[in-house]
Amino acid sequence: MARGQKIGMEDRVESAVEAASRLPFFDASIARMLNWPVEAWLRAQAGMLQASQPVATGWLERRYAATTSTLDTLERLANCNDFKEAASIQRSWFEDSMKRLDSDLHAFADQALAFSHEAMSATRYAAQTSADVVALATQPAQRTTEPQPPVDAAA
């Protein structure tokens, strides 16, 4: 494998299962069963991080705009000549600040919705794969309870 090349979680699990399957006491279904909670947790965390990325980026952009606006306002206030102009500059700065606050609140609401979608997706994945894990875990027990074909003593 080339250096820096990313491999997926499933590829890593399959590689580990393949390596461990050479051991005489190893059962692959147990490895998959033990790996499942970690994989589900990592998928949920990755989904939450992806959902928060646009909101965090937007928030940083709005903070940059607020800082720029404040610095411009301070510069204009330092160069103004009368109180009427100063009040106008301050009112404009305040209105822009309220618009950014409104944008922040809408972005946080959107983030809450994105998080709830990610939580539902993670729950759906966990419910779906937990049934698969239970099936894997019961395979060895089912194999031992299945009737074995009779052994022919004459053979």
Asked whether residue 32 is domain-assigned, the answer is no
Asked whether residue 114 is domain-assigned, the answer is yes
Say what the pTM is. Answer: 0.54
Strand, helix or coil at 4? coil
The tokens for 26 are 């190893």
Asked whether residue 67 is domain-assigned, the answer is yes
Asked whether residue 1 is domain-assigned, the answer is no
H helix intervals, 24-147: 28-79, 83-145
Asked whether residue 97 is domain-assigned, the answer is yes
Per-residue model confidence (pLDDT) at position 92: 94
Per-residue model confidence (pLDDT) at position 47: 82
Q: How far apart are CA 124 and CA 120, in angstroms?
A: 6
Q: How far apart are CA 132 and CA 138, in angstroms?
A: 10
**14 has a pLDDT exceeding 80:** no
The full DSSP string for 82-96 is: SHHHHHHHHHHHHHH
Give residue 2's identity as a one-letter amino acid code: A
Asked whether residue 92 is domain-assigned, the answer is yes
Summarised one tens digit per residue, pLDDT across range 100-150 is: 999 989 988 888 888 888 888 877 777 776 666 666 566 654 554 555 555
Per-residue model confidence (pLDDT) at position 64: 94
Asked whether residue 69 is domain-assigned, the answer is yes
Are 133 and 35 a contacting pair, CB within 8 Å?
Answer: no
Summarised one tens digit per residue, pLDDT across range 24-72 is: 666 666 666 667 777 777 888 888 888 888 888 988 999 999 999 999 9
**151 has a pLDDT exceeding 60:** no
Per-residue model confidence (pLDDT) at position 1: 47
What domain range is 106 assigned to? 44-125
Asked whether residue 99 is domain-assigned, the answer is yes
Higher model confidence: residue 1 or residue 115? Answer: 115
Contacts of 113 (CB under 8 A, 6+ apart): none
Per-residue model confidence (pLDDT) at position 79: 92
The residue among 26, 39, 42, 27 whose CA lies nearest residue 130 is 39
Higher model confidence: residue 50 or residue 96? Answer: 96
Total structural domains in the chain?
1
